[in-house]
Amino acid sequence: MTSSYSARSRAIEPFHVMALLARANQLQARGHDVIHLEIGEPDFTTAAPIVAAGQTALAAGHTRYTSARGLPQLREAIAGFYAQRYGLSIDPERVLITPGGSGALLLASSLLVDPGRHWLLADPGYPCNRHFLRLVEASAQLVPVGPEVRYQLTEELLERHWNADTVGALVASPANPTGTLLERQELAGLARGARAHGGHLVVDEIYHGLTYGVDAASVLEVDDEAFVLNSFSKYFGMTGWRLGWLVAPPDALPELEKLAQNLYISAPSMAQYAALACFEPATLEILEARRAEFARRRNFLLPALRELGFGIAVEPQGAFYLYADISAFADDAYAFCQYMLESQYVAITPGIDFGHYRARQHVRFAYTQDLPVLQRALERIARGLREWQG
């Protein structure tokens, strides 16, 4: 009876990795030691000061709706974070608290894209970005990008692909699945290009804070009219709390608030109170230690995979992913991932989850496990490659 369901629902593709995850969980239930390098969720639990703040909020009865824009004190704390980390003066009124980064994307796509219009997106890229556009009866125009442009849209690509139905571009820095950054001048070029066409620039900064050897520039440093998506899930380690934010230009705020009121009323109140602890010095010290640990994992896994023959042409500077070319071994990423799971009990993500451009020749590794686990995974992958090429 699926034909009786909406066309938009049928057009949205599932995460292929979820089938692999379900199989991995089956194998695990049967007693196999499955190593999970497929899901973009750190192995760290939420930092203790944040948990304690959430418990205190619950005990105090802070379980009612907040305003659609979010707790004023949390919006002020986020504005203070922009001042501390980027030297930016952001009016707290421009910050809307959302149910996860997904809530921010839902608001931005609902506001900015009419049915039949589209944003430019990099291919490969995070699949939910294009799926949210389909949900609002718009679409994504995927622009193939490779290592020559560090898997990112450029001002030149924006100009080449912009057409009469384009209303903006959505970019991510650091990006999922590639971990690459857009530098300040590149963000300025994209903003300039979008502005020249009367369009909008939306930047996913969800992995800000998780960069290694370099600090990520915020697009708000070069374009005060850009829309910024962010989240408490990655750097702040609050995945299950479902909390994010959107920074928007002042003239967009009344419309965004109206949308928020109708779409979700407000973000989870207890999560908002807990998030107030994110910006305390003791919490930031914990988060910076975790960032250093992710750097150690990247610095271990990257050369090891290259030595095994995986092609990683661009060193990722952020997030916690390695996007690897497997064409030296196979031309079917999903089959390759199935093989590694069934034979070696290592779960990785096929590139077909992230777009179309050379997707069957790529897989994504998430270095969200500690170093001893990564070492065991490498040993199994090496054995699996020997048997695969047998």
Q: Which residues, listed in sequence order, are joined to residue 123 by a DSSP beta bridge?
A: 144
Q: Which residues contact 192 (CB under 8 A, 6 or more apart)?
A: 155
Q: For residues 68 and 265, is the Cβ–Cβ distance under 8 A? A: yes
Whether 1 has a pLDDT exceeding 70, the answer reads no
pLDDT of 387 above 70: yes
Give the confidence band of 388 by pLDDT, cuts at 50, 70, 90: confident
What pLDDT band is residue 15 in, cutting at 50, 70 and 90? confident
The more confident residue out of 11 and 180 is: 180
Q: Share the mean pLDDT of the chain.
A: 96
Q: Give per-residue pLDDT as tens, 274-310.
A: 999 999 999 999 999 999 999 999 999 999 999 999 9
pLDDT in tens, 36-95: 999 888 899 999 999 999 999 999 999 999 999 999 999 999 999 999 999 999 999 999
Count Cα neighbours of 234 within 13 Å in the Cβ-side half-sphere. 27
pTM reported for the whole predicted model: 0.95
Confidence category of residue 13, pLDDT binned at 50, 70, 90: confident
In angstroms, rounded to a whole number, what is the distance separating the alpha carbons of residues 220 and 212? 21
Percent of the chain predicted with pLDDT > 90: 92
Write out pLDDT tens, residues 135-179: 999 999 999 999 999 999 999 999 999 999 999 999 999 999 999
Reported as a single tens digit per residue, the pLDDT across 205-226 is 999 999 999 999 999 999 999 9
3-state secondary structure of 376: helix
Residues in the chain: 390
Over residues 251-263, mean pLDDT: 97
Say if residues 226 and 201 touch (Cβ distance below 8 Å). Answer: yes
Give the confidence band of 19 by pLDDT, cuts at 50, 70, 90. Answer: confident
What is the pLDDT at residue 351? 96
User: What local confidence, expressed as pLDDT, does residue 2 receive?
Assistant: 61
pLDDT, residue 41, reads 86
Is the pLDDT higher at 19 or at 265? 265
Residues with Cβ within 8 Å of residue 36, at least 6 apart in sequence: 21, 24, 347, 366, 368, 369
Spatial CA neighbour of 244 closest among 265, 267, 225, 264: 267
Domain ranges of the chain: 11-40+283-385, 48-279
What sign does the dihedral 98-103-107-112 (CA atoms) show?
positive
Q: Is the pLDDT of residue 361 over 60?
A: yes
What is the reported pLDDT for 166? 98
Top-tier CATH class for 11-40+283-385: alpha beta
**48-279 CATH pick, 3.30.465.10, 3.40.640.10, 1.10.150.120, 3.40.50.2000:** 3.40.640.10
